[in-house]
Each structure stands twice: as structure tokens, then as C-alpha cells.
Amino acid sequence: DTATTEIYTLSLHDALPIYYARTIHDSANQLLAMINEILDFSKIEAGHLTLETSSTAINPLAEGVMALFEPRAQEKGLRLSLHVDPLVPGWVMIDAGRLRQILLNLIANAIKFTDHGSVSIRVTSTVEHLLFEISDTGCGLNSEQQETLFEPFQQADESVARRYGGTGLGLAICKRLSDAMRGRLGVISTPGEGSTFWCELPLVEASPVSTSQPAEPTQDFNGTSLLLVEDNAVNRKVALGLLSRLGCDVVCAENGYDALAMAKRQQVHLIFMDIQLPDSDGITVTQQLRAQGGWCSDVPIVAMTAGGAEDDRKRCLAAGMNDYITKPLSLLALSNVLALQLTPAQTPSTPIAAESGNDVLLNEATLATLTSSIGADSVKQLVMLYHQQVHDYIGQLVDCFASNTEIASEQLPQMERLAHQLRGESLSIGAEQLAAQSKHLEQLAGQPEASSAQIEEAFSALHHCAARTHAALEQWHREHQLN
């Protein structure tokens, strides 16, 4: 939408950036979906479609696809259900990506064209075939509409195109994919009662594939009490999930003042301390805790930070901290630091080195570790929270540019703080490239000699990277987490 884009460019210097950003985002998503469908269809028609058959677990694949549509179904007040017949083999040889593409399209259509009632997914099998049936209680189709439904650029009628949009390619692509997989695709429908789209594919049983899981810590920390000092909601949720998995009892403080007050009321075995806090910094809070005396003089305090510079480590250890751990956190890293710091015979450990690879858009190893540690549902909620936080940070950063051709000096600390927050959250979720862009903006905002042009250029790169990261996380959900 070039007109909206032009307005948005101008709006960096007035007070209406968020509205235009959302308009661009929605228009771009619709356009991208249409372009992808056209490209996909062109590839199939040109004979460039390749199938990648592998041993696939049917149950998790079907459950994962359904889970993606649960929020949309709930929003419309529809019942969404899945039934996999017990006789369906656990593992089959199939192109999981193409099967998922077919199911995503059929379920999306069922929900789109159903205003009341339910959408159900049913998976059954015979000796030779797998059968997927997606049934809805929507508007249904007459026989004339059914005849052309699987042809390219066809929709039930013109009113459908006006109301729902789209290219009319989705079902045509599904039909060609099922044909390429030596299967069949069809529909049974009655106007006013609903439709059942079915996809029948050859059944070839397969042996289970063992997936390598991140190393699990062997030590149990049940009964260990911890104070987590972390102001960031995403980072706090990640740390809480991992530490709870280790059996720890965790209390949280969101700033230095609360941490000091809590330490006066409650004794804990160890304190995890974020370095940058809204009212102070972790080093100062550590010094104040040590000065309180009593158990605070000796309790292990471990720094948690997005940074990995050697001078940061030295400052933390010099302030009286016992160890230093960098984000993204992992179950194993937390277990190791707890074991080292809570065993009396051990001396303070060597700080854990920061991981490299900030050029990676999305570190799937971080996401896999989170999934195995806190569960797929928690990761799904975490990603949704992260998307919301990124949206909020971007909005606040845009506001820093409003109404001025030059960035006001009083805005720089705010920009530095927001960039630091975004950096930490991005590392926690595995968004390494966005973390690197945030770090660059954070550094520029902290340099008095940096020009407004440099800062705006850094923010523009960050903004584009945030959009790519959002898309990459959505793709990861579809292709990995919910398989």
C-alpha cells in the first residue's frame, strides 16, 4: 500500500505512527499471502514441485495444525475438535510440509465460511489409505459451485470475493498437492447445512524417528528458594518457567527497591540479578544488598544480562557477585550455575561465556530448549507476549522521533532503555538478529556524538528486522514447534 507507506514516513514527525503502522501491517500480510499463493501455484504448474517424504508422526502434526486455529475459532464462537482414529498408524511416510499445507488451507476455509456451530477434523485409515475429513456447519455449496471449486482463481461466487478476499487459489493448490502425492481431494456439501472436505492419501507405515532433545540436567533443586530480580515480563516468564522446571521456589522483584525490601523480609538460597533495572542497576543493588549484612553478605548473587563483554563480567564480580550468566537462558546453564553456587565445596565459577551468532534471524536451538523445558503451550503464550512487547517497544521508539527533525537529547535515555529491553527479550526468545540490531541502537543512543541520522538509520534497520523476525517466529510455529 504505497499511499499508506508515504503517510507513515511523514508520520514519524507527527503523533499518528501506530495507526498507519497497523494499516500497513494488515495490508502487507494480505498481499503477502496472495503473492505466496500465486508463486506456489506457478511453481506447481511449471512442474517444479518437489516432495520431501519422511517418517512423520500423524497425531502431533494434526494436533499442531488444529492448535494454530484455536484462537480464531474461539474468536468466532466456534467449537473446534479433532479425532484421530486409534487404528491410524502412529508414523507414516509422507511429505509432512505439504500435508500440513493442505490441512491449513482446508481448516482455514472451514472457519472462514462458518459463522455458527463447529468445525471438526477427523483422521481415519484403511489398509491402503489415510483419510482426512474437515467438516463444518457453514453455508454449504450447491452442485454448480462444487464443479468449479478446485479450479484456479475460482470462488463460490462474487459475494465471497467481496466479503472474504483472497485469490481463489487455495483449493486449487490443495488439489494439485494431493494429486502430486498420489492422493485425491473432494467435497461433500449441502447448501445451508455445511461441507466436508476430504483428502485421501496413500498409507505407507514407517518406523518412529527419535529426535535429539537438549541435554537434561540431572540434579533436582526441590526446596531451593530463589529471588529473581528482573523487570522484563518476557525474560521473567522464561526464567520462571525454567527455574520452576528445576524444582525451585521463585519469588520475583521487578526493580531494585523491591529487591532490597524483599531481602529484608525473606531469606533465599540464591539471587538472580538483572543488570539493568528501571530504578537502578544490578551492580548497585548488589552492593546495597551486601551492605545490609547478615545472610545478604554471603548469599550467592548471579548476574543475568544480555551483554557478554569482559568488562561487564569484571564489574559484576568486583561488585560482589558470584557468577555471571548470559541470555538466552537454558535449563542446563541454570542447573550448572545452581549446582556450582549452592555446593559449599565449590569456589565461584568462571562466568558462562556468551553465545555468538547474532547474524542468525532465529536461533531454533533456543526455541527447542524452551519447548522441551516449559512446554509447547507456554512457548506459544511466550511468543504471543513477545510479539505484543515488540509492538509496544517499536511504538514507543517511533514516538521518540515525533515532532522533531532532530532527536531531542532527553529522548536518548528512553531510546537506550527501550533498545536494551528489546535486546534482552529477543535473546530470551532466540531472535538473535533483532537482539543485535537492538544492541546497535542502544549503543548509538548512549553515545553523545551519534547523529540523529545514524540513530534513525539504526532504528529503521531494527524495525525491518522486527517484521522479519515476526514472520520467522510464525513460520517456526507452523514448521517445528507444533509438528
Could you give the percent of the chain with pLDDT greater than 70?
76
The pLDDT of residue 185: 93
pLDDT digits (tens, 9 = 90+) for 273-318: 988 888 888 899 999 999 988 889 889 999 887 654 456 667 788 8
Q: Does the domain at residues 49-202 carry the CATH identifier 3.30.565.10?
A: yes
Q: Contact 171/150 with Cβ under 8 angstroms?
A: yes
pLDDT digits (tens, 9 = 90+) for 76-97: 999 999 999 989 998 999 988 7
Can you tell me the mean pLDDT for 159-187? 73
Q: Contact 283/320 with Cβ under 8 angstroms?
A: no
Is the pLDDT confidence value at 272 over 70? yes
Ramachandran bin of 327, using left for φ above 0, alpha for ψ from -120 to 50, beta for the remaining angles: beta
CATH number of 362-481: 1.20.120
Instruction: Quote the Cα angle for 474-478-479, to 5°.
Output: 115
Can you tell me the mean pLDDT for 139-150? 80
Is the pLDDT confidence value at 50 over 50? yes
Break the chain into its structural domains and give their ranges.
49-202, 225-342, 362-481
Q: Which residues lie closer than 8 Å to 398 by C-beta, 6 or more apart?
A: 12, 17, 18, 21
Is the pLDDT confidence value at 352 over 70? no
CA distance 302 to 352: 11
Could you give the percent of the chain with pLDDT greater than 90?
18
Helix 310-318 vs helix 282-292: crossing angle, to nearest 10:
20
Q: What is the mean pLDDT of the chain?
A: 77
pLDDT band at 152 (very low <50, low <70, confident <90, very high): low
Of 144, 58, 54, nearest in space to 103 by CA: 58
Q: Which residues lie closer than 8 Å to 464 by C-beta, 6 or more apart?
A: none
H or E stretch covering 5: helix 2-11
pLDDT band at 334 (very low <50, low <70, confident <90, very high): confident
Q: Contact 259/283 with Cβ under 8 angstroms?
A: no
Is the pLDDT confidence value at 383 over 80? yes
The pLDDT of residue 122: 95
Domains 49-202 and 225-342 share a fold: no
The pLDDT of residue 446: 86
CATH T-level fold of 225-342: Rossmann fold (3.40.50)
Q: Contact 429/411 with Cβ under 8 angstroms?
A: no
Is the pLDDT confidence value at 42 over 70? no
Name the pairing type of β-strands 270-274 and 249-253. Answer: unpaired
Can you tell me the mean pLDDT for 216-223? 68
The pLDDT of residue 67: 81
